[in-house]
Amino acid sequence: MTRGLNKVMIIGNLGRDPEMRYTPSGRPVTSFNVATTRSWTSFDGERREETEWFNVVAWGPLAEICNTHLTKGQQVYVEGRLQTRGWEDQNGKRHYRTELVAQEMIILGDRPTTRHSNPEDYPEIDDDFAF
**For the domain that residue 111 is a member of, what is the CATH number?**
2.40.50.140
Look up the domain containing 21 and give its range.
Answer: 8-130
Answer yes or no: is 3 within a domain: no
Total of domains in the chain: 1
pLDDT in tens, 77-121: 999 999 999 999 999 999 999 999 999 999 997 755 555 544 444
Q: What pTM value is reported for the model?
A: 0.78
Answer yes or no: is 57 within a domain: yes
β-sheet bridge partners, residue 29:
21, 59
pLDDT surpasses 90 at 126: no
Cβ atoms < 10 Å from Cβ of 30:
23
Cα–Cα distances (Å) from 86 to 23, 92, 95, 98, in that order, read 17, 12, 6, 9
Residue 66 CA neighbour count, 13 Å, CB half: 32
Instruction: Choose among 28, 81, 80, 85: nearest CA to 59.
Output: 28
Quick one: pLDDT at residue 1? 81
